[in-house]
Each structure stands twice: as structure tokens, then as C-alpha cells.
Amino acid sequence: MKPQKITIAVAARLSDVGIETIRYYQRQGLIEEPPRPSQGYRIYPEQTIARIRFIKRAQELGFTLREIKNLLQLDAAQCDETRAFAEEKLKVIEDKIGGLQSIRHTLQELIDHCNSSDANEACPIIYSISHPSVQL
């Protein structure tokens, strides 16, 4: 059986992304665009599928495309550098989690205040958003 030629449509299907995503990754320098033959479609190497999957998995772990571009320049032998990079990312994520927990706490307090307020009073949530310097 003859191996399947991997056109952009096939690459998109195998990678579970859209064609425009592949084109975007090409413009961003994350994957290479194969040369266009004089007749026919560009044929992507199988490594492109693995690379797209790597990009998508790295995004799931919270890395931006710019950060992923840096990761793609590292190889398996650069574990110390990769670990340091991941530790920096983890710190950023932990800071975001702390900020989100603070927001969650504030929203819960506002909801609780809203539930206990008089129906004739202004909504404490709207009031708090309109007057951020006033503590309820």
C-alpha cells in the first residue's frame, strides 16, 4: 500500500487543527512551509504532524506561541535549560492562580453582601464596580 501524501488538509485532520492554524503556525515560524511543486499540492513531512501536536500540547500546558517557539529550539539534551524555562512558566501560572483566587474571594463577598442586602438598596455588586475605592 502506498503511503498517504500529507497535504495541508490531511495534516490538519491528522493534527486535529484547522488549515488556517497550520498556515498561522507557518507565518509565525513554528513549522516550515514545504515548497510548492510546479503542479499539485504542497506535501508535508510526517514530522510536521508531530510538531503541530507538540505545539498544541504545549499550549494546553499554558505556554504561549512565543514561548513554544523557544521550546522548539531546545532539544532533549538541554534538560536543565528546559526545566528552568518550565519553572519560570510555573511561577507565572502560580501568580495568576493567586490573583484568580483573590478575585474569587472578592466576588463571593459581593455575592454574599448582595444576598443579605435590602431589595430597596442599590445592588452592592454594581456599586462596588462603580466605586472601586469604597469597601462594602
Q: What is the pLDDT of residue 13?
A: 96
Of the listed ranges 10-14, 59-63, 116-120, the one predicted with least confidence: 116-120
Instruction: Encode pLDDT of 12-41 as tens digits.
Output: 999 999 999 999 999 999 999 998 888 888
pTM flag (> 0.85) = no
Question: What does the pLDDT look like over 61-88, one tens digit per residue?
Answer: 999 999 999 999 887 778 889 999 999 9
Residue 129: what pLDDT? 86
Can you give the pLDDT at residue 8? 94
DSSP letters of 62-122?
T--HHHHHHHHHS-TT-HHHHHHHHHHHHHHHHHHHHHHHHHHHHHHHHHHHHHHS-TTSP
The CATH architecture to which 1-73 belongs is: Orthogonal Bundle (1.10)
Question: Cβ contacts of residue 93 below 8 Å, gap of 6+?
Answer: 62
